[in-house]
Amino acid sequence: MIDFLVEYAPTFLSVLVGALVTFVAARIYYQKASKDLFDEAQELRRLNNLTLRAMEEAGLCEFNTDENGNVRGLKISLSGHIRSSSSMSATPSVTRRNENKI
C-alpha cells in the first residue's frame, strides 16, 4: 500500500495542482468577462434611452415612464374624423290604373 502511494503520489499531486490552476484561471477570466458584459449592457441601455428620448422630443412617439424616468411602455393615442353627407331627390308622377278590365 505504501509503495502504491509513493509511486502515484506525484501523479495525484500533479492532477490536483492542475485542477487548482485551471479553476483559478477560469474564475479570473469569467469574472472579468462578467464585468465587461455588465459594462456593455449599461452602455447599450444608456444609448437606447437616448434614442428613445430623441424620438419623443421629435414628436414621433410618446412613452410611459416610471418614477425614475425609465421608459416602461409606449403611449398610443388614436384620433378619428368622420364626415358624412347625404342628398335625395324625387320626381313625382301620377299613374292612373284602369279598374275596368275587359
89 DSSP 8-state letter: -
Full-model pTM: 0.53
Q: Are 40 and 32 in contact (CB under 8 A)?
A: no
| Close Cβ partners of 52 (under 8 Å, ≥ 6 residues apart) | 63, 71
| Close Cβ partners of 70 (under 8 Å, ≥ 6 residues apart) | 49
> Which cell numbers in the block locate residue 66?
416610471
Residue range 50-86, pLDDT digits in tens: 998 898 888 888 888 888 888 888 887 778 889 999 8
Residue range 15-28, pLDDT digits in tens: 999 999 999 999 99
